[in-house]
Amino acid sequence: MDEAAFRALRSPAGERVLAEVAARGTDEHTLLATLTALRAEYDPALVSAALTQVRLRDRARAKFGADADRMFFTPDGVEQATRAVVAAHRAGRYAAARAERVLDLCCGIGGDLVALARSGLAVHGVDRDPLAAEVARANADGLGLGSRVTVACAEAESVPLDGWPAAFVDPARRGGGRRIFDPRACSPPFSFLVTLAAEVPLAGAKVAPGIPHELVPAGAEAEWVSVAGEVKEAALWFGPLATALRRATLLPGGATLVDSGLGVPPVGPPARWLYEPDGAVIRAGLVGEVVAALPGGRLLDPTIAYVAADAPAPTPFARGYEVSDVLPFSLKRLRDILRTRGVGRVTVKKRGSAVDPDLFRRELRLSGPHSATVVLTRVGGRPTALLVTPASLHGQHPERDR
């Protein structure tokens, strides 16, 4: 889709076609009838653009909820846009710091821009892609935020930073149709983040969750964010926005854990309770903080993020399990135990194990009415299997599927 096609979608005819495509449906059973009926009345190019847009909105609901039906998207925009719950969390940090105006660099289709405006801030979005800039402006208007938003098409590095009290940048991490993993190869490059932090008092930047800790600039806060148990994003915060060295934030609840300077966690044998830290906690290197908060907490292995505890202690930062059996890894022995207990369905969790979970389940060849959870890991360097029950079944915090 180019700018001309996008403008056609925003015309009265485009709005009618969008509404009709959405009402008729775009699944494999209705697609042909939808296309046939609408192409007889409207420009086929407009119908095709509307079909693509409706499908993009369907995809975008996972990130934007009901707002997606009032927004416009590009394929890259859906892929790269910040989830609404994460954008709202980040906007809240700017609002709490009393930033009245924010410069949103590389704003894309406007995920962060919308959240910043909803927090009551005046936002100026910038994107080098003319279509993305136009879509971002349309999204702000469509969500009733146009009075707080301006958008321009420009390279991020060309925008004057003087006078801006706050800024956020989301460097492009895709090039040539491929994801870019090296922060230094993003656009703008990683070095621009340091420039931004030096010139703007309240500065933040979106980075890939896999960013190595050693790349985090001195004095910056690195925050990893998970949504419903899955690590989704990371950000760097500078100046007054940096209130910790490393942080893990769990959404939608908002629980946050920061580096408290603990030393190396203790290591010891399994106990009655097993805890699996949230992915954001692991990425942030804060497993030691979880260990310290659990009764008798210790790692099963110094290189693996499984924590043993002597007593249950509900925590938002880890999933808990009650351990019934601990045994050296043996497919035959596990099969015998599970068959004896009438287990037919097995959830396999693993860390530090080379076993393929799907192949492992097939090789167990189980049948029966009951289910079980098997944890495959190492204990003191030795391959080990633990049979566990999610703590939610014992009144603890609920398990989240991954």
Are 94 and 172 found together in one domain?
yes
Are 94 and 181 found together in one domain?
yes
Residue 119: both structure tokens together: 């927090």
As to burial, measured by CB atoms within 10 angstroms (0-12 exposed, 13-18 middle, 19+ buried), residue 287 is buried
Nearest to 47 by CA among 80, 19, 83, 68: 19
The pLDDT of residue 64 is 97
In a domain, 240, yes or no: yes
The pLDDT of residue 178 is 59
The pLDDT of residue 27 is 82
| Number of domains, the chain | 3
Q: In this predicted model, what pLDDT tens digit does every residue of 114-158 receive, in sequence order?
A: 999 999 999 999 999 999 999 999 999 999 999 999 999 999 999
**Cis bond upstream, residue 188 (ω within 30):** yes
In a domain, 329, yes or no: yes
Stated pTM of the model: 0.90
Q: In this predicted model, what pLDDT tens digit does every residue of 152-189 receive, in sequence order?
A: 999 999 999 999 999 999 997 655 555 655 666 577 88
| Confidence category of residue 206, pLDDT binned at 50, 70, 90 | very high
The pLDDT of residue 187 is 73
**In this model, does residue 394 exceed pLDDT 90?**
no
> Rg of the chain over CA atoms, in angstroms?
25
Q: In this predicted model, what pLDDT tens digit does every residue of 359-370 receive, in sequence order?
A: 999 999 999 999
**Cis bond upstream, residue 312 (ω within 30):** no
For residue 90, the enclosing domain spans 78-257
Are 98 and 195 found together in one domain?
yes
CB 195 within 8 A of CB 54: no
Q: In this predicted model, what pLDDT tens digit does every residue of 34-81 receive, in sequence order?
A: 888 888 889 999 999 999 999 999 999 999 999 999 999 999 999 989
As to burial, measured by CB atoms within 10 angstroms (0-12 exposed, 13-18 middle, 19+ buried), residue 224 is buried
The pLDDT of residue 395 is 37
197: left (phi over 0), alpha (psi -120 to 50) or beta: alpha
Are 112 and 245 found together in one domain?
yes
Residue of higher predicted confidence among 200 and 179: 200
356: left (phi over 0), alpha (psi -120 to 50) or beta: beta
In a domain, 44, yes or no: yes
Q: In this predicted model, what pLDDT tens digit does every residue of 271-308 receive, in sequence order?
A: 999 999 999 999 999 999 999 999 999 999 999 999 99
Are 203 and 290 found together in one domain?
no
The pLDDT of residue 401 is 35
- Percent of the chain exceeding pLDDT 90 equals 83
Q: In this predicted model, what pLDDT tens digit does every residue of 88-117 receive, in sequence order?
A: 999 999 999 999 999 999 999 999 999 999
Nearest to 316 by CA among 295, 282, 290: 290
Give dist(CA 276, CA 308) in Å, integer: 9
Give dist(CA 132, CA 115) in Å, integer: 17
Are 239 and 100 found together in one domain?
yes
Nearest to 291 by CA among 316, 312, 266: 266
In a domain, 71, yes or no: no
* CATH code, domain with 137: 3.40.50.150
The pLDDT of residue 399 is 39
Give dist(CA 375, CA 362) in Å, integer: 16
CB 312 within 8 A of CB 348: no
Give dist(CA 366, CA 188) in Å, integer: 53
Nearest to 353 by CA among 308, 387, 304: 304
